[in-house]
Structure 1
Amino acid sequence: MDTGTTALMLCCIIGLTLMIPGLALFYGGMVSVKGSVNMMMMTYGAVAVVGILWFVFGFSLVFGDSIGGIVGSPGDFFGSSGLYSGDGSTQQTSVNGLSILLFSLFQALFACITVALISGAAADRMKFGAWMVFAGIWAVVVYFPVAHWVFSFDGTVSEKGGWIANSLGALDFAGGTAVHINAGAAALALAIVLGKSRTFGQGPKPHSVPLTLLGAGLLWAGWYAFNGGSWLSASDGSAFAMVTSFLATCAAVLAWLAVEKLRSGHVSGIGAASGAIAGLVAITPSCGDVTPMGAILVGLVAGAVCPLAVGLKDRFGYDDTLDVVGVHLVGGVIGTLMIGLVGSADTVQGVAGLLYGGGVDQLWRQFVAAAVVLAYSFAVSLVIALALKATMGLRITPEAEEQGIDSSLHRDPAYELI
């Protein structure tokens, strides 16, 4: 075992865990005063159900020996077998000098947070039970296979890995496709099936901008673990990913606020928080492939384009309440494609994009990866949502929505409203 890498990854796991309350606060502050507890519970509920599924068979589906490049063998690590033995020692000793059991926990948090991201599209109107079922099914049939495609490299855990990482050769340092495009496409499908909330089109309704800003700050801090930890080594690679993540986020905040100022004459706290998340999303796939100056460009593009993409929900009439599509789907696509444009051979991964003399070779690979993940996630998510709508139902009643989802579904609303 490499003690330095192990120490780094222990810190990264703590950082990733802080993203759970970070996401809950970020989303919880943006909804109405009558729905913040439900919004936060959707995050915690998703983490709980996906965490159990991961250690029962999810790790095996993602990192087990590949079946046709599509999914890992479910029996390889079923019940976390092979990750440890009865005396507490690991059977497969390490991944890059890191305990494979600790590696599994690191990747479990990726799965949990990805599923929780989707909930922002269902705010204030989805049954909590239906959400929990959707979260579990989606993790199994969408996230686990897609994560196998993207994160499972030949010879890392098992002999054969997924097709995007190995056959296609698309780059995704920490999850632009598997996390953000995946979650954003699912959010679009779920929002379409759920239908519009009763307040759709009436403008934003954040009940606590400070909570959202606090949540964004926790997410920003946790994102260093998300991106830097993905190098799986206490080395220059982790440091490089953290620096580019910081620069892209700063640039995206400035760009988002500039767009706000030009469009409305004002800058907002929600805009600053959303700009930070847009920058973090876009740099996630590219943090090991672009130079520091390239990272600033990635952030500027994401910060300028994502607020414009948010407005698409009004044009096309889908109620993506907390802008998962505009930020995560669009930001994930931007970050994935920017590798093919401004990737540099001088970075830790050493792949040149179109503008750095690499031609279109890497760009088309990035485009195919983004398009396939988007299409697969949207189509399967649509089927899951339609099936649940036809069986157990997805939406709370109009009366409960009018009353407020916290008081109608939960015993502990965030505030005592008189």
Structure 2
Amino acid sequence: MRQNIKKKRAPVAVRDANNLSDSVIIGRYATAATIANDTLAVLARAIVIGAKLVDLVQLGDNTITAALAALPDRPSKSGTCFPVCISLNGVVGHYAPVEGDEEIALGDVVKVELGVHVDGYIASAGTTVVVGTNVYASPDALLTHPLGDRLSRAMAAGTYAMQAIARSLRPGTSNLLIRDMASSLLASFDVQAVDRCISFSAAQFVADGPKHLALKPPVAADPETHIEEAFVAVNDVFVVDVRVSTGTGHLKLMEVRPTVYRRNLDETYMLRTKLARTALSEVDHRFPTFPFSVGQLTGGAHARFGLKQAEQANLVDPFIMARERSANDVVVLYKATMLVTATETIISTFVPTFPEGFGADAIVDQGLRAVLAQDLVHNGQPLQFTPPETMDM
């Protein structure tokens, strides 16, 4: 998802070091994915009634740190490519609290997202947990939730969208065709993706590459919803980000301080205070290209104060906090890293699935069913799909 809805960040040029036929490179991606998946599982088990959000974020950070430290051949440049975030109910994401007593409650819809990199090769992951029940094993339990059928449709649509996009990431396929396919699939469930939900291509030390994926058509008055046409190619890597609302998908800003930032590489400025220079120096050393949370900085309150000055000088960009406009609606999240090799698409990080057939009745279009029936092995063949509105009746 685009992180800053005030201004558009210029795409970062993708380096050449992304040859997925290289066993070392594919191994780096796999190692990062294992740590990301394991951490996601640890957090999913820890999301229980009464758990504090700040403690969950710390648990995730500690789990990743320990796993990286245990690698026998850990490259010196390894860490997080996206901070551990825990966002509740209508909050879209990007929330990594460093203090406070906010707790998990029964029925909360909890979104977890995080990312790990090993030598710059990334694995981002995200999922949604409904507190009080394992909805992926027993989806009928969703019907007892206050949002009932709306939540059930949103979660089913999100998981099907992830599977359909994975089967659409084939060499030669237009990202605009993938957008039309994903939009049609979500419409089958009568749900909406949240505004400005954009996925990015990735490469070594790059998490926001030049190729983008969208989940719905652009809005003329909002340039952030427009993506340039690009074609999937062998060795592409995408962090696929699907956020679906039980409501309209339209968002409103939250009046809270951002907790996730990113270094703005396009700006330079000599900061006046030592606190600000110290905070920025740590960012430049530990997070020169990847997003980070305030809590990951080692200086505590001093670092937060210094970071605020760096933000005022446009040296770091915040991931602005937003939520669904309706207080009664929630957002669900699924995020995974997908690698396009010469013969297949690899889903490297975890995507939950419901029991076979759950929600499938909503997908009546045969073209969408055909996409979902395809194998992840593509042998270099592009996606064949005609959006329902253009099909012959």
Return the structure number with greater strand share: 2
Return the structure number with greater helix share: 1
TM-score by length of 2: 0.31
TM-score by length of 1: 0.29
